[in-house]
Amino acid sequence: GDSVTQMEGPVTLSEEAFLTINCTYTATGYPSLFWYVQYPGEGLQLLLKATKADDKGSNKGFEATYRKETTSFHLEKGSVQVSDSAVYFCALSSSGSARQLTFGSGTQLTVLP
Amino acid sequence: EPEVTQTPSHQVTQMGQEVILRCVPISNHLYFYWYRQILGQKVEFLVSFYNNEISEKSEIFDDQFSVERPDGSNFTLKIRSTKLEDSAMYFCASSPRGDARGYGYTFGSGTRLTVV
């Protein structure tokens, strides 16, 4: 079945550091890939998405590129801020079940001033 | 920006009791979902709902669970006889269409259910 594997956290960085959160997936067909973010006390928010190979999703300075050859969708940001502290979830929706999202376990990011 | 609203934010219940978790999806959305996250584990799909019936459900969604859209705005998840292992954060979501490939969902902020 479908699965998503994220790097385990927690991740602690200083402000303005470079961020990478690794995400790899296993899926049937050609899935769409997503990154969701959960700020403290809030719901899951869509951060960015990519629907086909080589697409790059971007939002709020975050980027992720859909790499079919390595089945990866790593999240990157060049310079993190304290306000980026949150839990980040990688997710996919496969062609086998377009109405479900399969999530990774989430990565807690803490950015220190 | 339109929101999905969930109530209550936190509910504590005795084992064996029935609970109803409530959600108000975005008004022009047609597909509704429940997901849950047991502490420290992955967010898991429970059920999707469209046109007043379940369209998909996971193996977690057994006979103890049911969903309902009792009126034009609410979408509820009922657990008939709660168990300790039902303790989790429950997320409601809605989408304008059922294909998550192009359209991500809008999630609510969750209800934390604690079964004691």
Q: What percent of chain B has pLDDT over 90?
A: 73
Q: Do B42 and A105 touch (CB under 8 A)?
A: yes
The distance between the two most distant Cα atoms of chain B, rounded to a whole number of Å, is 41
User: What is the SS3 assignment for B1-63?
Assistant: CCCCEEECCEEEECCCCCEEEEEECCCCCCEEEEEEECCCCCEEEEEEEECCEEEEECCCCCC
* Contact status, residue B86 vs residue B114, Cβ threshold 8 Å: no
A57-88 pLDDT, tens digit per residue, is 999 999 999 999 999 999 999 999 999 999 99
> What is the per-residue pLDDT for A96?
62
Confidence check: pLDDT of B28 > 90: no
A97: pLDDT strictly greater than 70: no
CA distance B13 to B15: 6
C-alpha distance from B6 to closest chain A C-alpha (Å): 10
* A17 min Cα distance to partner chain B (Å): 26
CA angle (B86, A86, B28) in 5-degree steps: 70
Residues 6+ apart with CB under 8 A from B13: B19, B82, B113, B114, B115, B116
Closest by Cβ to B56, choosing from A95, A100, A106: A100
Q: Which of A87, A93, A54, A108 is nearest to B105 (CA)?
A: A93
- Residue A41, C-beta contacts closer than 8 angstroms, at least 6 positions apart: B109
Residue B53 touches partner A, C-beta closer than 8 Å: no
- A16-25 pLDDT, tens digit per residue, is 999 999 999 9
- Of A26, A100, A103, which to mutate for an interface test with B (greatest number of B Cβ within 10 Å)? A100
